[in-house]
Amino acid sequence: MKVVAFNGSPRKDGNTGFALNTVGEELKKAGIEFTVIHVGNKTIRGCAACGGCVTNQNERCVIANDEVNDWIQKMKEADGILLGAPVHYAGIPGTMKSFLDRAFFAATVNGPMMRNKVGAAVVAVRRSGGVATFDSLNHYLMYAEMIMPTSNYWNVTHGLQPGEAIKDEEGSQIMRVLGKNMAWLLKVLAAGKDHVEPVLPEAKILTNFVRD
Ligand SMILES: Cc1cc2nc3c(=O)[nH]c(=O)nc-3n(C[C@H](O)[C@H](O)[C@H](O)COP(=O)(O)O)c2cc1C
């Protein structure tokens, strides 16, 4: 089994990286392959709202001059997905949001490709905006019908400069517990999926809040 993580911080080895790797250590201890893809230092433009991914049905975003399509395939190959972001202005940093909008939209209208995979999110913050950013990351996982492990608190750790999150003992515990719970959930799903009737996806109803 494998989990692919996406680090939305411009800083590879900052506090988000530390949080992701703390989760990853527990996954690796449980025999699960863990890799981190660095998103936050790339140049990724936002969704063009062109609908090309809906029309083409080829698991791709039509904007093909960056890494987003490769990362969609990495997500497809993985059993679990871990999203990590620092808090920038009480939200997801722009590069990470551009990636998530494009990748999750293309993946959701093609299949849906991420359905029933395990998905979790972690956040690093100096002071405030942590829970709002965690909530925003969870929107992608939930819309994609992913299955979410939890920890013993919301998945947020605190620090300003790279490395400071190491001193947040509670934050580290949150990430550790998340890693253990994620590994357990991955194994339970793998053990059970051949014994329990799958739930088929429903065709999506879009009412756009229009009422007669
Ligand atoms: C542009 C920018 C905006 C930020 N906005 C916030 C904020 O709204 N709230 C906060 O508490 N910290 C904010 N921070 C601090 C980061 O969230 C904090 O340093 C975090 O640990 C960075 O994680 P990283 O080391 O993975 O990059 C901001 C940092 C930057 C660079």
Residue 126: band (very low, low, confident or very high) from pLDDT cuts 50, 70, 90: very high
Alpha-carbon distance 60 to 38, whole Å? 20
What CATH class is the domain 2-192? alpha beta
Residue 212: band (very low, low, confident or very high) from pLDDT cuts 50, 70, 90: low
Q: Which runs of consecutive H residues, i.e. helices, occur in 78-129?
A: 94-108
Task: State pLDDT tens for residues 3-56.
Answer: 999 999 999 999 999 999 999 999 999 999 999 999 999 999 999 999 999 999
Ligand 1 centroid distance, CA of 210 (Å): 39
Alpha-carbon distance 209 to 146, whole Å? 25
Average pLDDT for 102-127: 96
Q: Is the CB of 92 under 6 A from ligand 1?
A: no
Q: Which runs of consecutive H residues, i.e. helices, occur in the chain?
A: 15-29, 52-56, 68-77, 94-108, 130-143, 169-192
pTM for this prediction: 0.97
Residue identified by tokens 């911080």 is 9
The token duo for 195 is 């014994």
Q: Are 67 and 42 in contact (CB under 8 A)?
A: yes
The token duo for 96 is 């990470």
pLDDT exceeds cutoff 70 at 143: yes
Residue nearest to atom 5 of ligand 1 (CA): 88
Residue 111: band (very low, low, confident or very high) from pLDDT cuts 50, 70, 90: confident
Alpha-carbon distance 31 to 2, whole Å? 9
In three-state secondary structure terms, 111 is coil
Q: Are 114 and 146 in contact (CB under 8 A)?
A: yes
Alpha-carbon distance 155 to 177, whole Å? 10
Q: Is the CB of 21 under 6 A from ligand 1?
A: no
